[in-house]
Structure 1
Amino acid sequence: MKPNGNALRLLAYAFAAADHGSLRQAARALGVRGSSVSRNVLKLEQLLEMQLFERDFRGVRLTQTGRAWTDVARAHYDGLLDAFTHCTRDHKDAKTLRVGLCWVTGGEFLKRLIDRFVAIYPDVSLTIEDIPTGQCLAAIRRRRLDVAFTYDLGPFTSCCTEVFWQERLFVLLPSRHFLVDRPAIAWSDLAEMCLLVPTGSEGPPVDLRLLQRIATDGGPAVHTCRANQATVILKVQLGQGVTLAAESYARTVAVDSAIWKPVEGQNSVNSIRTVWLDSNPKGVVHRLIAIARNMAEAP
C-alpha cells in the first residue's frame, strides 16, 4: 500500500459508513456528498487491496474481513485523534498554569509568590486545586498539574523538587488542657498524650518521617485515624488527643472548645516542597520557579 496523506479522511468515511450502514446517511452525518463517501471508501479498499463492505440496495455492511480490520484500525484511529486533540489543547494550555496543593493551606510565602506571578504575567490563567497525597506525583508526571506544593513525600522520581519555605507546626489542644496557658509547646510536653493524625483519602498532613521523629524523640504517641481533618478535630474537642497542622492552617481555622498553640524546639517546622517536571515545555512553569527561587534567596 502506498503512503496516502488523506488516510485519516479515508478512515473517517469508512467508519461512518460502517456505523450508519448507508453511504448516504454517512455522507449526511459528515456533511459531504454521498458520492464523496462512496469514492473514498472505494479508494481505501483499493489501497488495502481488501473488500471492506458488501453493497446492495439496502445499504452497506462490513464483510467478515472488513469487520476484523476496522476493529483494529478504529483503536489506532481513536488514538491518533486523541493525540491531535492533546496537541491542540497543549497549545491552548501554554498560557495556563495548573497548581496543586497537597496538604498546603497557603501561607504568606505562597500568597506572595502567586500575587507576584499574577502581577508579572496577567495574561496567564492560573488555577489552584487540592490534590491527594497518593495522586500528587502522578499528576505532575502526566502533566495534569504543572506545579505542586507539598511536604516531603519521599523519593521524587523523575520530578524536580526544591524547598522554598518552611512552616511552623501548631498543635491543637482541648480548651481545658493544662498546657493551654503556655505561649508555645514542645513535643516532650505532650509525651503522655495521643497525637491524632488523619490518613483519609488525602493522606497524612505531614511527612511520615517527621511523625516518626516526633514519637521517637520523646513526643506523644502517633495514632493514625482513617478520617479527615474535621473528624480528627472533633476527637480533639472530645478530649481524645491532640492534632497538628501548619501555621497557615492554624491561624486561619478557629476551633470551638480547642486552641492552637505553636510548637517549639525539635521537629517544630515542616518543609514545603515545590514539585514540577523539568521536561514540561510550558515557559510559565519555569518562570514561576524562577520567581520562587528569587524570593527564597532574598534577604
Structure 2
Amino acid sequence: MTGNGNALRLLAYAFAAVDHGSLRRAAKALRVRESSVSRNVLKLEQLLDMQLFERDFRGVRLTEAGGAWIDVARAHYDGLLDAFIQCARDNKDAKTLRIGLCWVTGGEFLRRLIDRFGSRYPDVILSIEDIPASQCMAAIRRRRLDIAFTHDLGPVTSCCSDVFWQERLFVLLSSRHSLVGKPAVAWSDLAQMSLLVPAGPEGPRPDLRLLERIVADGGPAIQTSWADQATVILKVQLGQGVTFAEESYARTVTIDSAMWKPLEGHNSVSSIRAVWLDSNPKLSVLRLIGLAKNMAKRTSDQNGERCMRSQERCTAG
C-alpha cells in the first residue's frame, strides 16, 4: 500500500485528468510532464486493481466503474482537503491569544500582566476586546475567546475560573457634597443618595452582584439609565447622585466639580476573575494563566509583608 502522501498525489493526478479530459491538459494545469501524469494515473489503477480511464487519441474518459469510484473518492478527498485547510487556519490562530474584558476597566494588574506576557512571548498576537456578560461564557465555550476577565458571574460550569486580583472601589461625589471632606466613605454614608449606574453601550460596567449586596447592606438606591459614563458623570457634577468605579479608573480620570473618594468597609473591593476552557489546546493560555498566578502570589506576599511592617511599627510605637 502506498503512503498517505503518495495516495493524495495519485488522486490529484487522476482528478486533473477527469477535469481536463486529457493527460496533456492535466499536465499543463499541474505544471508537470505528461508522462508524469500518465505514470501516476497508472499507479492508481494498479493500486485499485481497476481501470479508471479509457484512453484514445482524443484524450481520456472514465469507465463506468471508474466514474462511480471517482465520485466517492472525490467527496472524501474534498473533505480531507478541508480538514487540512482548517488545520492550517487553527495553527495560524494558535499564534493569537484572544482576551475578552467583561465589565472590567483594566487595572494595573491586568496592564502589567499583558505587558509582561507580550515581552516574554513576542510571537503571540494579543487580541483584546469587550464582551457583554450575557455572551461571556458562550464565547469561552465556543473558543471565540481564549480567556475572559470579568466580575463575579455566579457559578461557573464547564469552565475553569480563578480570582487573580482585587481592586478597591472609589465613589465619585459632587464637589459640593457634604462628604467630600472625609478621607474615605462607606456605603452606609450614602444611604440617602442615588447610585447612578450607566446602562449604555459605553463606559466601565459595574459588578451586578456587587450592586445587589450594596442595596442589601443598607447602601444607596440603585438608579440605572440608558446613558454612557459621560452622562452619569454630568449628573454627579449636578448633585443628582453618585457613581463609582474601580481604583484603576478613578486614579486616572480627573473630573471637574467632582471628587473621587475611596470606599471602606463592606463591599468596598471588587474581585476580578479569569475564565477559560481547560480543554483549550493553546499553550499561550496556560502561559498567561501561570504568569497571572505567579504575579497574584507575589502581590499577595508583598501586601502581607507591608501589613507585617505596619503592625511592627505600631507595636514599636
Same fold, TM exceeding 0.5?
A: yes
The residue aligned with 2:128 is 129
Aligned residue pairs total: 292
Query: Paired residue for 2:209?
Result: 209
Match of 1:271 in 2: 271
In the alignment, structure 2 segments of 5+ residues that lack a partner are 305-317
In structure 1, the residue corresponding to 2:158 is in which secondary structure? coil
Assess if the C-alpha contact under 8 Å between 1:97 and 1:285 holds in 2. no
> What's the CA shift string for 1:181-216, capped at 9, x where partnerless?
4433332314341422335389x7233211111223
Matched with 1:285 is 288
Counting only pairs closer than 5 Å after superposition, residues 63-74 of structure 1 correspond to structure 2 as 70=74, 74=78
Which letter maps to 2:126? T
Tell me which residue corresponds to 1:82: 86
Structure 2 counterpart SS, 1:211 = helix
Which segment is superposed worse, 72-81 or 9-18? Answer: 9-18
| Structure possessing the higher radius of gyration over alpha carbons | 2
Write out aligned runs for 1:80-229 (5 A).
80-87=84-91, 90=94, 93=95, 99-114=99-114, 121=120, 125=124, 127=126, 129-132=128-131, 133-143=133-143, 145-188=145-188, 189-198=190-199, 200=201, 205-229=205-229
Deviations 1:5-41 (A, max 9, x none): 1344455556777888987676556544455556657
Q: What are the residue-to-residue correspondences of 1:22-33 with 2, within 5 Å?
A: 30-33=30-33
- Equivalent position amino acid for 2:265 in 1: G
Is 2:102–2:136's contact at 8 Å kept on the other side of the alignment? Answer: yes
Which whole-Å CA distance do the structure 2 matches of 1:177 and 1:18 have between them?
A: 84
Q: Which residue of 2 aligns with 1:246?
A: 246
Q: Structure 1 CA distance, aligned partners of 2:57 and 2:259?
A: 81
Please give the secondary structure, in 2, of the residue aligned with 1:80. Answer: helix
**Is the 8 Å Cα contact of residues 196 and 243 (structure 1) preserved in structure 2?**
yes
What code does the residue aligned with 2:250 have?
A
Change (3 A) 1:286 1:258: closer
SS class of match (2:295):
helix
Q: 1:246 deviation in Å?
A: 0.7
User: What is the deviation of 1:77?
Assistant: 2.8
CA distance in 2: counterparts of 1:51 and 1:105, whole angstroms: 65
Residue type of the partner of 1:5?
A: N
- Paired residue for 2:310? none
Unaligned 5+ segments in structure 1 are none
Counterparts of 1:215 and 1:42, CA distance in 2: 81
- TM (norm. structure 2) is 0.66
Contact 1:186 1:264 in 2 (8 A): yes
Structure 1 counterpart of 2:82, which letter?
D
Contact 1:147 1:285 in 2 (8 A): no
The 8 Å contact of residues 103 and 207 in structure 2, kept in 1 or not, is answered as no
> Percentage identity across aligned positions?
54
Would the aligned equivalents of 1:199 and 1:224 in 2 still touch at CA under 8 Å? no
Shift of 1:249: 0.8
Distance 1:201 1:252, change over 3 A: closer
Aligned to 1:294: 297
Q: In the TM superposition, what is the alpha-carbon distance from 1:166 to its structure 2 partner?
A: 1.0
* SS of the residue 2:4 aligns to: coil
Q: Is the contact between residue 101 and residue 128 of structure 1 (CA under 8 Å) also seen in structure 2? A: no
Measure, in 1, the Cα distance between the counterparts of 2:49 and 2:191: 77
- CA deviations over 1:113-139 (Å, ceiling 9, x no partner): 4566567x3656473623313444445
For the 8 Å contact 2:140–2:147, the answer to whether it is kept is: yes
RMSD: 4.6
Question: TM-score scaled by structure 1?
Answer: 0.70
